[in-house]
């Protein structure tokens, strides 16, 4: 007989003070980075235009990516929807890593770090996807 809760079981998540502060520190840091990166895409910074030219899909993809990053960054700062911001950022960063590895070159370290941060927020707040709002 196992006393470990199943991953699919809804249970109250209680974070201690250090865990709560760490969660918010990660969320605020991610929000700042994604606001900066997404804004540079939306405002047409020359390096972003060149990067998306190299990807070859079109500049509409730059706008879409920028919108996802900015809206997700704002969502990370709102407790009730932070999980959805993290949920949108995980596939976005997987795409960024893939683009760096197979299309444009360069180091995928920064998108990988952002993926780990987003996945961490998603994991800690996963119960909110099922309607449990115990983490504030």
Residues listed for the chain: 136
> How many CB atoms lie under 10 A from the CB of residue 35?
17
In whole angstroms, give the CA distance from residue 21 to residue 110: 23
Whether pLDDT at 25 is above 70: yes
Q: Which residue has the higher pLDDT, 13 or 127?
A: 127
Give the burial class of 30: count Cβ atoms within 10 A of its Cβ; 0-12 exposed, 13-18 middle, 19 or more buried: buried
Task: Work out the average pLDDT over 71-80.
Answer: 96
pLDDT of residue 2: 52
**pLDDT, mean of residues 49-58:** 93
Whether residue 11 is predicted with pLDDT greater than 50 in this model: the reply is no
pLDDT in tens, 113-125: 999 999 999 999 9
The residues spanned by each domain of the chain are 17-130
Q: What is the mean pLDDT of the chain?
A: 89
Mean pLDDT within 54-82? 96
Would you give the end-to-end CA distance of the chain in angstroms? 33
């Amino acid at each position: 007989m196992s006393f470990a809760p199943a991953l699919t079981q809804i249970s109250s998540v209680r974070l201690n003070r250090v865990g709560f502060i760490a969660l918010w520190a990660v969320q605020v840091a991610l929000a700042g980075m994604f606001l900066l990166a997404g804004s540079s895409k939306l405002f047409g910074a020359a390096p972003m235009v060149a990067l998306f030219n190299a990807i070859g899909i079109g500049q509409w993809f730059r706008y879409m990516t920028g919108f996802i990053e900015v809206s997700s960054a704002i969502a990370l700062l709102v407790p009730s929807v932070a999980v959805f911001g993290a949920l949108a950022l995980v596939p976005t960063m997987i795409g960024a890593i893939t683009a760096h590895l197979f299309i444009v070159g360069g180091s995928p370290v920064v998108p990988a770090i952002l993926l780990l941060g987003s996945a961490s927020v998603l994991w800690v707040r996963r119960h909110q996807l099922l309607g449990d709002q115990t983490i504030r």
